[in-house]
Amino acid sequence: MNYHLNHLKELESEAIYVLREVAAQFERPAILFSGGKDSIVVAHLARKAFYPAKLPFPLVHIDTGHNFIEAIEYRDWLVKEIGAKLIVGSVQQSIDEGRVVEEKGFNASRNALQTVTLLDTIEKHKFDACIGGARRDEEKARAKERFFSHRDEFGQWDPKGQRPELWNIFNGKKGMGENFRVFPLSNWTEMDVWQYIYSEKLKLPTIYFTHKRQIIERDGQLLAYSDYLITKPTEKPKEMQIRFRTVGDMTCTGAVISNASTLEEIIEEVASSRTTERGTRTDDKRSETAMEDRKKAGYF
């Protein structure tokens, strides 16, 4: 007898277990949904975890206002498809209300501002656990992250004081005002996510596949030309055949030159790629500890 699961099935089972723990241990959990492939996989796994019941958590989208239109269309389609509740936290509203001040200059991005909107949204809806699609292979600070990641009442992460996490016992106990971030895909790699999307035949926003787009080349990054991007006089958009490896704020998500039009082709491309997917993110390149610093402050 071969009682054995392949690695994707094992990772799926682990993630479903984590999602069920969230539903059992918390009163007001939510899924942080960006429209990116990782959060799409999380939403799919949540659907599996509670079948035939409906998703016991809403999807929360922190909207920078600088979205790829394709990602928003996808979000709205998915919400309908799985019958989920959608809650939107708006960075534009945080700016209008004076909660945050927009960055200035050519590299201005709303990426960092999201943290304030995120924490405000968590507080407003009294979420006690926010489920995210972050993976430990993404970035070195994330490699230290727990499945159940404790946040103090200021939403901060204390990397040196994390709770030990043993076997599959997750400790979601917390004091007043504290909350958790939960990462069911902790042990997945970028390749695992793509393979899973392929084997589950999941639908994705079209920007993950090859298309023609007006691009600004800046410091080795290919940025989508849009009204949100402040361009230097010397920068001229150029039409290129590209796709995106991650979906984030338009102003800091870089494209890659690619002809990959199917999931198989993307998998081939990822397998032979020599840079990480976060290599296309200018938000991580601000300093060596950009991710750790943002995470400590309460970022995703």
Complex with other proteins: residue 191 or 230, whichever CB lies closer:
191
CB of 237 to other proteins, least distance (A): 25
Radius of gyration of the chain from its Cα atoms, rounded to whole angstroms = 19
**Residue 20 or 28: which CB sits closer to other proteins?**
20
Q: Which is nearer to other proteins, 14 or 249 (CB)?
A: 14
Nearest-approach distance from CB 214 to other proteins, in angstroms:
25
Give the separation between CA 207 and CA 211, rounded to whole angstroms: 7
| Residue among 115, 176, 171 nearest 148 (CA) | 171
Reading the block at residue 238, the tokens are: 């150029």
Two structure tokens written together for 113: 């501002």
Whether the upstream peptide bond of residue 159 has omega within 30° of 0, thus cis, is: no
Least gap, CB of 179 to other proteins (angstroms): 12
15: nearest Cα among 117, 118, 134 = 134
103 vs 152, which CB is nearer to other proteins? 152
Candidates 43, 35, 97; CA nearest to 62 is 35
Q: Tell whether omega for the bond before 52 is within 30 degrees of 0, i.e. cis.
A: yes
CB of 224: closest distance to other proteins in angstroms? 20
Taking the complex as a whole, the smallest distance from the CB of residue 236 to other proteins amounts, in Å, to 26
Closer CB to other proteins, 196 or 225, in the complex: 196
